[in-house]
Structures are given as structure tokens and as C-alpha cells.
Amino acid sequence: MNGITIALSKGRIFEETLPLLAAAGIVPTENPEQSRKLIIGTNRPDVRVVIVRASDTPTYVQYGAADLGIAGKDVLIEHGGAGLYQPLDLKIAKCRMSVAVPVGFDYAAAVRSGARLRVATKYINTAREHFAAKGVHVDLIKLYGSMELAPLVGLADAIVDLVSSGNTLKANNLVAVEDIMPISSRLIVNQAALKMKRELLQPVIDAIAGAVK
Ligand code: PRT
Ligand code: MG
């Protein structure tokens, strides 16, 4: 495609990206929460937005199905970043990656004991690296969502998940015991597209950079 295709996920990333796109003179013509369309036009005839699952954004950009995308650092670490240029931390959709356990579970003692810890998470790569660096032996259990449930029903001792307000942990009688890293969303660019369509993409990247607070 000759114009620009931007991959975004619905929800917080779409909402928090709107002002950045507006700064680049790009305004989507529809809200994906209301319309069920997966391809959304913009005020610019040569720019369109495709609506994808958050964890699929890097894949669309990697293969050039989208030129640009916006993805959380959590998602980028799991994807690996192949074929992607990551020029900007947009400082949106902020949260932190943490280890959490049921209130009353002695995490420090469990780690000290040297016994294998069972950890449920969607973020297998991040969790593996974190515990390997600490020298903690873990059995990782892959989940696709609602990690908070796992320790409550005996599936795992601990979870690795994103925390922002902390309300979800609190509501499920869990507590964060370790911060792994701060998370925010990045602009990602297909490396080949940047070379072939630089005159089209660079002004958009520069305008977004100028709008990042
Ligand atoms: O929801 P879906 O399964 O479709 O996919 P997704 O959860 O990957 O997408 P989405 O849109 O929910 O999140 C997109 C990106 O937003 C993530 O990749 C993160 O980089 C970022 N982000 C920022 C968050 C949060 N904050 C966040 N709080 N993503 C998820 N959460 C979840 C968290 O997993 C936990 O279940 O919210 C819950 C905790 O929130 P608090 O406020 O109760 O602490
Ligand atoms: Mg979600």
C-alpha cells in the first residue's frame, strides 16, 4: 500500500494515542469501540488505522502489514522486536510489571528455601529472565489472561503481571512483592517501510516525537 497503515489496539492504547496522532494532523474518522470495523479511515486519504489485538501489534508491523504501530514494552519484550525500529517511548499506557502473591504468602522465605516457585504469567520471557537473574528456580505456567486467579485456586504460588492502580490485586487479596520494570508504550516502525517510504513516515514520526510529554 502506498499510504501509511497504523496498527493500534482498542482501549487504552487507542485512547491515549489519539492526541499524538492529532499532533501529526491525523484524526481517525471512527471510534473502534462503537464501530466493529477493523480498518478505519482518517481525515487523510493516504492514512488508515487497523485495529488489532494488543499482543499482535508487533507482528503486523514486523511483516509490513502495518508501517507504524504502538505497543507496550511488555508486549515488545515477549515479541522480541525482530524487524522493528523502536524510535520513541511515548510515555502512554504506563504501568509496572510486578511479581504478586496472596496476602500472607512469605515470598522471601519461599525464595530463600530454594524450592521451585510456581509462577503463572502471560509474560514468559520477562518472567524467565527476571527469576534467572535472581537465581530463583521457577516453573512457569503460561496463561492468556486473568492471572490474578491462578494463586487463588492453587494453580501457582505467584504471578507476574502488570499493575497500575493496584485495585485488581487488592480486590483479589494479592500483594505486589517485587517490581520487575516500569512499562510504557513505544512507537514501532517497520524497518523496510522506513527506508522505502521515509518521506511519508518521517514527518509523522517527528510530529509524534514533538507531542510526547
Ligand atoms: O485486554 P486484551 O486481552 O485484549 O489485551 P491486553 O490486556 O494486552 O490489552 P490492553 O488494551 O488491556 O493493554 C494494552 C497495553 O496497555 C498493555 O500491553 C500494557 O502495556 C498497557 N497497560 C497499562 C496495561 C495496564 N496499564 C493494566 N493495568 N495493560 C493491562 N493492565 C491490566 C493488568 O494486566 C491487570 O489485569 O489491568 C489490571 C491491573 O490494573 P489495576 O489498575 O487494577 O492495577
Ligand atoms: Mg486488557
**CB 141, CB 121: distance < 8 Å:** yes
Does the Cβ of 67 fall within 6 Å of ligand 1? no
Strands 95-102 and 158-163: antiparallel
3-class secondary-structure state, position 144:
coil
What pLDDT digit, counting tens, does each position of 49-69 carry? 999 999 999 999 999 999 999
What pLDDT digit, counting tens, does each position of 102-135 carry? 999 999 999 999 889 999 999 999 999 999 999 9
d(CA 60, CA 103): 40
Of the listed ligands, the closest to the CA of 17 is: 1
For residue 59, the Cα-to-chain-centroid distance in whole angstroms is 13
- Could you tell which of 95, 147, 170, 186 is best to mutate to test the pocket of ligand 1, judged by most ligand atoms within 8 Å of the CB? 95
Other CB atoms within 10 A of residue 63 CB: 10
Residue 140 CA: distances (Å) to CA of 80, 146, 154, 182, 194 = 18, 15, 14, 21, 37
Q: What is the pTM of this model?
A: 0.96
Band (213; pLDDT cuts 50, 70, 90) = confident
Say which residue the cell 520471557 belongs to. Answer: 125
pLDDT reported for residue 113: 92
What the chain holds in terms of domains, given with CATH numbers, is 4-93+184-212 (3.40.190.10), 95-183 (3.40.190.10)
Band (212; pLDDT cuts 50, 70, 90) = very high
Backbone angles phi, psi at 97, to 5 degrees: -90, 125
Does the Cβ of 164 fall within 6 Å of ligand 1? yes
Paired strand residues for 69: 7, 188
> Which residue's CA is the nearest one to ligand 1's atom 9?
54
Band (179; pLDDT cuts 50, 70, 90) = very high
